[in-house]
Amino acid sequence: MGFGRSGRERILGMDLSDLIEVQAIMPALKANSKKQLLQLLAERAAAITGLPEREVFDTILQRERLGSTGVGNGIAIPHGKLPGVKSITGVFARLETPVEFESLDDQPVDLVFLLLAPEGAGADHLKALSRIARVLRDPDTVAKIRGTRDAAAIHALLSDTQTSHAA
């Protein structure tokens, strides 16, 4: 029963580079609808996780039916838990043209962070969602992400947490 730095603590102070790889970032995605956007995200998530694309798509679609994950300001954080996911995994898309997403503020979405978690992730899934929301609430970070089409630059912006901006 030591008090060492556990995996849970690591997630609490997590930087998003723990959740997302550069190849999981789509910096100039073209989608014509929310459904097509979710399909494209599921396709990339399937390629990264090795899970069936249909399973990923069905999971995030089911979650959207409970209520839109469009959180406002052009940002959506679709998410779901899947039995085959080994660790919490993210896919990020910056859209060329915003799509209607039934967001809380009725604004179309152009930045989307898909989060997939193992079924037993429990509170870690919520902590990861909270971390993503915190990063995407920073107007400077969001403006910089919207201003680039470079996956590595977007990855760096997502990973560059408050520790470096603690002003």
Alpha-carbon span 76 to 74, nearest angstrom: 7
Alpha-carbon span 136 to 139, nearest angstrom: 7
Q: Collapsing DSSP states into helix, strand and coil, what is residue 52?
A: coil
Per the DSSP assignment, residues forming a β-bridge with 136 are none
Q: Which position among 79, 125, 155, 165 bears the catalytic label?
A: 79
Q: Is 155 a catalytic residue?
A: no
State the DSSP code for 33: S
Sign of the alpha-carbon torsion through 71, 76, 82, 86: negative
The burial class, CB within 10 Å (0-12 / 13-18 / 19+), for 18 is middle
Residues catalogued as catalytic: 79
